[in-house]
Structure 1
């Protein structure tokens, strides 16, 4: 099921990048664009329906663009997913047993924890000393050397944490209109939390800049 998870992760990151680019539109188009953006956001959200025996996950068309239904069905079958349906709007619905969904979430959790360890040990983020998180990845604390952090680009690490945390919550059935990921930045020496980033609010702020 690893290939399935990786595909969804990069698709979600791509969606966020495309969404942030929309902030460059002119002020004169803002009124009509707001309505269109609302419709677009609704059509691009990940929908999870948890039944008594099965779980259905619907991915928006933009997340499976360029993938044939035959390839998706083959990959899904290898992952133990019962059924793949391409909907009229281009979205794709995966139907799986609760046990398969549980396995999917366990593998996503493992991948996310591996990513956290890589971030902590990466030479690209020298100021980051540790990263703590809660059980559903809705809250992170990055423990850093404050001086090094403020004189580097290590703040970009919050984006990967935020995106991964959002993905985990979405596929676990979180409401796309209510979920969030809060990342606090804490000074290693003093223990003071001197910065905080909240997703998806941070992505919306990028659109307005």
Structure 2
């Protein structure tokens, strides 16, 4: 689905509107909290009985035409898109639509994994398995070929996919993680584990 492809490499999404006045008051407070967390680079997901709301930080739209992002989201079924003062976007859609999108996101991640496994671009990668919420991936490789190639970049793509899936499924931005385990095809032993976003943040800190 086009929206998820945009999400993984940029993104998308959704919101909650309630029926009672009290629920609306709570939603307003939660929306303010979402906007504050968006400033920190987090994606805030709030679910209700009928609808779902997600506030997406401005950093995720860097390099994109914001009007096109909004138009594409509405074409995909997002009820409302609000551009906030800090540059973040708040998407509102039905809970049913959110469920549909999560299903399509999962299908897209799986399709990407299959493509990666069969691509000639990653010849050292022999197999990839994963758990249900994409918080863990096991990448089976020809160790010698892997260590002498650029195929390690593929693991970052898997990590980004897993992190995005978890964020849009409502995992706390302070708790979501993706572990990439590298297993040698010959010995069937894991020779390295990479945990995102922890290791990615460490690399960025060292680079600075």
TM-score of the alignment, normalized to the shorter chain, above 0.5: yes
Q: How many residues align?
A: 181
Query: Conserved in 2, the CA contact under 8 Å of 1:64 and 1:92?
Result: no
Is the partner of 2:10 in helix, strand or coil?
A: helix
Q: Which whole-Å deviations, capped at 9, do the CAs of 1:10-33 have from their partners, x for residues lacking one?
A: 127xxxxxxxxxxxxxxxxxxxxx
| TM-score, normalization by structure 1 | 0.80
Q: Which segments of 5 or more consecutive residues in structure 2 lack a partner in the other structure?
A: 12-35
- Cα separation, 2, equivalents of 1:58 and 1:41: 7
Where relative contact order (Cα < 8 A, 6+ residues apart) is larger, the structure is 1
Kindly tell me: are residues 40 and 84 of structure 1, through their superposed partners in 2, closer, same or farther at Cα, counting changes over 3 Å? closer
Distance 2:52 2:152 in 1: 36
Equivalent runs, 1:40-55 vs 2, <5 Å = 42-55=39-52
Cα RMSD (Å) of the superposition?
2.0
**Are residues 1:178 and 2:190 paired?**
no
Query: What is the SS of the residue equivalent to 1:57?
Result: strand
Give the unaligned 5+ runs of structure 1.
13-38
Deviation of 1:128 after TM superposition, in Å, equals 0.7
Do the aligned residues in 2 keep the contact of 1:128 with 1:145 (CA within 8 Å)?
yes
Aligned partners of 1:152 and 1:3: how far apart in 2? Answer: 30
1:75 corresponds to which residue?
Answer: 72
Greater helix fraction, Structure 1 or Structure 2 = 1
Which runs of 4 or more aligned residues in structure 1 lie more than 6 Å from their structure 2 counterparts after TM superposition? none
